Structure 1
């Protein structure tokens, strides 16, 4: 096999990561289709292929830039990236010790380290494609624990089950309810307070109400780092309610779980060790290359019981080695990437202390941004409480200030925020997310990640870019 083209790839990546390369050269879909040579019917030589690849990357978003703040992920950890390239090159599947001997040991070692970090040393876990799949794992485990017969007989003759989650929680729980046959109407959204945290008293009332109606509360989904505000629910109080009513407690820590890496900030997730299951996405804040997600469960053995299918061609029990190391039957997947190796590379190179330093730095820069935003003219914070490194705000242009903030005023602000984002994207100054939330009209969310490490000047430049684009907005743009 000729691998010479791979020598070109590293240079292509280095060229696309140079400082003078813009964040995005935005083109609409029909423009891109006209510019790019994407047809695959005819073979090309390596020179033409390189030209095509460079063109593809030319019009792709550079997620390694400090100004990419559009999602809850960003630039990859360089050691994690190296791990990802090695993993792809070896094309190993994680299901059996037979085909992935060292990678199996690495996954178990990393999982055990994470289980200790989250305070459940005797638990179990599996790497999954992302938080949405981890949510499926949690619901399957909770249902199986309550009704083991569901694995053989399905949901017939079982009581009507209900699921409780914050109104600000991730949408994946709605999809999971649908996919697993609960139905989206089985969800009971619980009100959140002004800072985005589930109101625990409302949760308990909802559980009691459902029990009186002879419905079975199967799972409470607490959140440690909501998608928009970065809110962390009171995990201890939720655990008390779950214990009282005998309900499975899952913690969606896909975003905020990275705070556990820091002795200074892990107290924000106080009570997480009381959960029955936890999900964490190192590919978000911590910068592991997509995809790298972990599902943890307190009860060892339950993951295998709930998910195993004992395929005789893969998980034979009469192999010549210890088959307890064939961990793939715990997974809903068969073929499974060696995602643990990417995280192992990061952790091996930096250690606990190195990752802790990165956590402290990202929270420090987010706190600086929060403070700076509160003082800059035209900016208004949605919440002044920093829970995760999320800073949410409106920018109010001069022509909108000192006016009666009635419904009409807010309706116009709702349109102004995406217009500012459009200008920022088209000028390649900044890619930043915006969202409405409950009673709030569209506002911006700046979410900070471990990589690239930012300084205070870069944060001020981002805020100034928002201000500059905001002041270019006029009322006449909204007929």
Structure 2
């Protein structure tokens, strides 16, 4: 095949690319409520139905267009209003345009010479968000997801306490432990293992009836491990837990950390976007007391995947911990001021321009636009919770703290029971069966999970501010209709 060069040609590719754009417009970008969220196929059936084979010779453009059509056909439409399955949703037109531009430029953000606009833009955005946290905040970096940001924060905490670890490793370090909520994100355990601390070094703290860390349990555990000659390294607090959307009492936790000399990291991947909201910013009170923070604009603010920020108080920390000074990238005799080469403070080398989606949406909407988006979402969550509380076929799991509304669908025989969670075995089977029917219909994607001793329950979250109260009524009516048909007794 002669068409192997990585260079677009108007003669060879213009018509092909126009067809691709038309396909995306018709089948992805302008999704409506009449479309399915997904066309469900089991893994076994999809392996038979989709052409995954790769050959010695390339395919024709006509065949490639068909491959694209089938990829869309069997993929989840996360921009659909009824995709309420994860902590991301919607398809922002400005974010999409920005992502198309950066993909076409194919830039990598490590030196000013290869990404002049994006290196300056990145530092400007980091500085702006730092100022929103607090005037003493100094630096940050974009990360390939909040999990990576949390893991980087653990490494920074260890380096800050034991700077020799950068060169000599952990062989001479004392035993370390870190503390976090029993409802924390699972990345804390993964990166504790990855960094050599081990999962057993992550001590889970008790949470209260709505999912917040109990500060007394933290202090008791710190004292307990100090008495064992184990060094307490850090606390990971969460502002917007994944399941219940709880906000840990960071101000109280910070006071305990300062008393005992621990690093405080705040995982605000889900809740951090509230920085833009005048009405709800108070939920983040105390966040400025942390040493590091993770915020994911691709969650609450609906920036296209992926867009995550790790912020640090100490403006020199990232460079001190991560820099290597590779001379083939970060030469000291450049033809411009090398302070604009941001890449050495990152763990990654090649890196996409995640900043541009966020900056362009901010430019288009203004901070006030993000605030309005948040206000609508919070109003919708309030309405959803009201409906759960007033409809006899549903029961709340715990009081809503944020966007997350956690609830059970109740089969008829449980609706008059005073404590439905006592019927653990029966309830545990309900949500998976209803979800299976919704997936087969392609109508709604709504997540469920157990938590601690609680049986499976549904969790409603949405970052799509185009959702309406009518949509919420439809989702709840649809769940009730399916449940009433499945559970007749």
Same fold, TM-score > 0.5, yes or no:
yes
Moved more, 393-402 or 98-107: 393-402
Aligned length: 474
Within a 5 Å distance, the mapping from 1:207-246 to structure 2 comes to 207-246=222-261
- What runs of 5+ residues in structure 1 fail to find an aligned partner? none
**Aligned-residue offset at 1:354:** 0.8
- The aligned counterpart of 1:26 is 40
Cross-structure match for 2:84 = 69
Deviation string 1:382-411 (CA, Å, 9 cap, x unpaired) is 112x32211000000113333586888311
**Aligned partners of 1:374 and 1:380 also within 8 Å:** yes
For residues 402 and 95 of structure 2, what CA distance do their matches in structure 1 show?
A: 22
Counterpart of 2:22?
11
Q: How does 1:428-443 map onto structure 2 within 5 Å?
A: 428-443=442-457
For residues 240 and 44 of structure 1, the distance between their equivalents in structure 2, rounded to whole angstroms, comes to 63
- In 2, are the aligned partners of 1:120 and 1:298 still within 8 Å (CA)? no
Query: In the alignment, which residue of structure 2 is the partner of 1:182?
Result: 197
Counterpart for residue 467 of structure 2 = 454
Which residue is equivalent to 2:96?
A: 81
CA distance in 1, matches of 2:136, 2:111: 23
Match of 1:472 in 2: 485
Mapped partners of 2:74, 2:92: distance in 1: 23
Matches within 5 A, 1:136-151: 136-151=151-166
Q: Is the 8 A contact 1:112 1:121 kept in 2?
A: no
Please name the residue that 1:359 is paired with: 374
C-alpha separation in 2, matches of 1:462 and 1:180 = 42
* Inter-CA distance 40–88: structure 2 relative to 1 (3 Å threshold): same
C-alpha separation in 1, matches of 2:406 and 2:174: 41
Shift of 1:377: 1.4
What SS does the aligned partner of 1:472 have?
helix
TM-score (norm 2): 0.94
Tell me whether 1:421 sits opposite 2:435 in the alignment: yes
Specify whether residues 298 and 407 from structure 1 end up closer, same or farther in structure 2 by C-alpha distance, changes over 3 A only.
Answer: closer
Question: Structure 1 residues 253, 122: closer, same or farther in 2, change over 3 A?
Answer: closer
Residue 268 in structure 1 maps to residue 279 in structure 2: no
Counterpart among 264, 270, 285 of residue 255 in structure 1? 270
Pair 1:38–1:408, CA change in 2 (3 A): same
- Judge conservation of contact 2:297–2:358 (CA < 8 Å) in 1: yes
Corresponding residue for 2:305? 290
8 A contact 1:268–1:387 mirrored in 2:
no
| Matched position secondary structure for 1:192 | coil
Q: Does the 8 Å CA contact 2:429/2:456 hold for their aligned counterparts?
A: yes
Q: Distance in 1 between matches of 2:60 and 2:420?
A: 62
Provide the C-alpha distance between the structure 2 equivalents of 1:25 and 1:49, rounded to a whole number of angstroms.
Answer: 20
Change over 3 Å in CA distance of 1:407–1:238 after alignment to 2 = closer
Give 1:441 shift: 0.7
Map Cα deviations across residues 69-93 of structure 1 (whole Å, 9 max, x no partner): 1111111321111111111110000
The aligned residue for residue 397 of structure 1 is 411
Matched, 1:101 2:101: no
User: Is contact 1:131-1:254 (8 Å) kept?
Assistant: yes
CA RMSD of aligned residues (A): 1.5
Shift of 1:282: 0.8
Give how far 1:37 is off: 2.0
Deviations 1:3-28 (A, max 9, x none): 42222222111211342321111011
Measured in 2, the distance between the counterparts of 1:121 and 1:334 equals 28
Contact 1:64 1:452 in 2 (8 A): no
2:207 maps to 192
Would you say the 8 A contact 1:196–1:231 is kept in 2? yes
TM-score by length of 1: 0.96
| Contact 1:65 1:452 survives alignment (8 Å) | no
- Matching residue within 41, 44, 64 for 2:59: 44
Question: SS where residue 159 of structure 1 aligns?
Answer: coil
Q: Write the mapping of 1:103-142 to structure 2, written as runs, cut at 5 A.
A: 103-142=118-157
Measure, in 2, the Cα distance between the counterparts of 1:433 and 1:236.
Answer: 32
Is 1:162–1:188's contact at 8 Å kept on the other side of the alignment? Answer: yes
Partner of 1:56: helix, strand, or coil?
A: helix
Correspondence 1:463 to 2:476 = yes
Q: Hey, what's the Cα distance between the residues in 1 that align with 2:357 and 2:252?
A: 35
Shift of 1:122: 3.9
Q: Which runs of 4+ in 1 moved over 6 A?
A: none
